[in-house]
Amino acid sequence: MITLIWIELQKIFKKWRTYIGFIAIGTLVIIVQIALYFTGDNYIKAMTRGFQDSFIMVGNLFNGYLVANLVLGGLFIHIPFLIVLVGGDLLASEATAGTYRMLLTRPVSRLKVVSAKFCAGLIYVFLLLAWLAFLSLGVSCLIFGTGELLSFSGKLIIFSRDDVLWRFAGAYAYSMLSMSTVFALSYFFSSMVENAIGPIVATMAVIIIFIILSALPIDFLKDISPYFFTSHMIHWSNFFNDPVDYQKIMESALILGVHILGLYLVTTYLFIKKDILS
C-alpha cells in the first residue's frame, strides 16, 4: 500500500497543475505581506478605532500572528479551488489518458488503487496547508515578529503571545479536515466521469450553492443550513474565540469526518463496480 501511495504521489507531483496551488498561495501570501508591510499600521488603527479613546494599546499588535490570521481568513474560501484542481483530476485523468487499462490490469486490487489515490490526495491537501502555514505564519513571524494576537470576531479579543500558537495549530488541523471534505467531494465526482473539468466544476458548484443558500435570510434555508457541510467548514475560526467552543468544534469535525468517510466509501464502491471502457 505504501508503494502504491508513493507511486500516486509521484504522479501527482510530476504534473504541472499540482503546483498551481502552491504558486497561487505563495503569490497571494507574499502580496498580502507586502501590502501589510507598508500599510499595516493603518489596518491596526482601523481595527481598533472604536477602542482607541477608552484603551491604551501597547506592545507589538501588528505582528506575524495577525498576518497569519488575516491570511487564513482571507484565503480559506479560495483554497477549495486549488484542492479540486488535483482532487478532480486524480481518477478522471486516468480515464482521459486511457491509463486505467494499464493500471487495472496489474495484480493490485481496485480497493487498494482507489485508497492509495485517496491517501495521496489527502497528503497533497496536507502539504498545501503546510505551505500556507509556513508562508503565512512562519515567514510572517520572521518578517513582522511575534506579539499579541488581535482577533475580531464580533468582539475584539487580544491573546497573549504565549496563548497563540496552539490556536493556530488547532485552526490548521481543523482546516485540514475542511479541505479534506472538499477533496473527498471532488474525488467522488472524479470517479464518475472521464474528464477532469467536470469534477472541478461540479465540486465548486456544490460549494458555491451551499454557501449562497446558507447566506440567504430565509427561515427555511436557515433551518436546513446546518446540514450543509459548508456550514461546518468555517469553524476553524472558533479557535480564536474566548472561550473556545470545543463542543461546537467537535460536532462540526464529526460531521465533516462522516462526510469524508461517506464520500470515500461511495467512491470506492463506484470504482470497484466500474466497467473500464475508456
Residues of the shown chain interacting with another protein in the complex, contacts defined by CB under 8 A: 3-4, 7, 10-11, 14-16, 97-109, 275-277
Compute the least distance from the CB of residue 267 to another protein, in Å: 18
Going by C-alpha positions, the residue among 143, 152, 188, 179 that lies closest to residue 253 is: 179
Compute the least distance from the CB of residue 100 to another protein, in Å: 8
Compute the least distance from the CB of residue 47 to another protein, in Å: 46
Give whichever of 6 and 37 is closer to another protein, judged by the CB atom.
6
Give whichever of 74 and 98 is closer to another protein, judged by the CB atom.
98
Compute the least distance from the CB of residue 185 to another protein, in Å: 25
Compute the least distance from the CB of residue 108 to another protein, in Å: 6
C-alpha torsion 27→33→38→42, nearest 10: 120
Give whichever of 10 and 27 is closer to another protein, judged by the CB atom.
10
Encode 146-183: b = buried (16+ Cβ within 10 Å), e = exposed.
Answer: bbbbbbeeeeeebbeeeebeebbebbbebbbbbbbbbb
Give whichever of 94 and 148 is closer to another protein, judged by the CB atom.
94
Give whichever of 102 and 142 is closer to another protein, judged by the CB atom.
102
